[in-house]
Amino acid sequence: MADGAPDNWSYLGETLPFGVEVLDFYHAAEHLSAALAAAYGEGTPTSQERVETLRTVLRDEPQGVDKVMGALCRLRTRYPRRQAIHTALAYFRDHRHRMCYADLRAQNLPIGSGVVEAAWKTLVSQRLKRSGMRWRPAGG
């Protein structure tokens, strides 16, 4: 599981070649939100409603990513000069195969990296950053 940075996927592909690649759901939702804000205005009721609806579709429906991409294609046609819509659509196209969220949830697998990020912060970051701590690379 990772965000959309190409370096993450090349590294993970070399290091862990056997496994399912999953794009962090919350990163995908951020891109979706940016596109809808470009179309309907940041924080408007219409934008908020569409974000909530399409996030649910993306997360819960089989082939949800295809439905979200269809909605983004329609927005791109309606607002051809709004770059955030083009950017989000390209992001979804590039990572479409990593967005099988309904299937993953049906298998009780995670779709977000929040648990891992919280563990990192708690187990590693706080331990190494306590007041008065001195660490060398070997001890860290």
Structure tokens at 40: 């309907």
Domain count along the chain? 1
Domain for residue 138, yes or no?
no
Domain for residue 64, yes or no?
yes
Domain for residue 41, yes or no?
yes
pLDDT digits (tens, 9 = 90+) for 81-92: 999 999 999 999
Domain range for residue 105?
A: 6-112
The Cα–Cα gap between 96 and 68 comes to: 10
Which residue, chain included where needed, has tokens 């977000």?
Answer: 112
pLDDT digits (tens, 9 = 90+) for 19-68: 889 999 999 999 999 999 999 999 999 999 999 999 999 999 999 999 99
Whether the model clears a pTM of 0.85, i.e. scores above it, the answer is no
